[in-house]
Structure 1
């Protein structure tokens, strides 16, 4: 019987909180690897978010850092991050207090606001796209 592990890439492991452990990298490939490794229903949410962000901000810059996909403008810093938890996907708007309306969840960082997506949530893609558009027009976070 052939060894199926030869030549096949190992699936990324999940960290204790359910977040995929993906090597940091610039561009679309590491972000797509992260999305593919998101467990269960979260992977579909990740795909929907990625498409929404690309459609809203053509030419958006992507990277994975600290096991989280980041979205930003070239030379402008990062305006949005995504992170998986066991029960939800967290969107971090790094200048979220400047968005209208302000995303609902507070952060320890004064400027950052969160929006959490749980399994079965009916996503208001129009509101998400509006937040993404607004966030992309603000100075990004340097990381």
Structure 2
């Protein structure tokens, strides 16, 4: 049996969640064109020098998460989280999509991974 693809994941979502997730995927692809797209931990994950960000659909929102979310220079006021590393943004409707802000966060996450390496192995 073939591994589940991101397209397979998106196909399981409701209309609004799918639209948000597809827009997020496009934003990540634009901001980090060299990122590898995989399904890990049952969700779409984007990798450059290790996992950088993920998309996860929940009942009432779609999350765009970052392994180093709390360390991103532009995170303040945008990223939620309680730890020192991971953080996320909850998008409840397509109106919550702020392309310029989200792409900036993705570029910052990509840069941190390039500077510090895989966040699952390095601080």
Give the TM-score taking structure 1 as reference length: 0.71
CA distance in 2, matches of 1:55, 1:45: 15
User: 1:125–1:24: structure 2 CA closer, same or farther, 3 Å change rule?
Assistant: farther
Per-residue CA deviation, residues 10-51 of structure 1 (Å, 9 max, x unaligned), is xxxxxxxxxxxxx994xxx71121122222201011111111
Q: Give aligned pairs, total.
A: 115
Q: Which runs of 4+ in 1 moved over 4 A?
A: none
Give the TM-score taking structure 2 as reference length: 0.82
- What residue ranges of structure 1 are gaps of 5+ in the alignment? 1-22
CA distance in 2, matches of 1:42, 1:125: 17
Larger Rg, first or second structure (1 or 2)? 1
Tell me how large the CA RMSD over aligned residues is.
2.2
- What residue ranges of structure 2 are gaps of 5+ in the alignment? none
| Larger RCO, structures 1/2 (Cα 8 Å, 6+ apart) | 2
User: 1:124–1:81: structure 2 CA closer, same or farther, 3 Å change rule?
Assistant: same
Instruction: Please identify which structure carries the higher helix content.
Output: 2
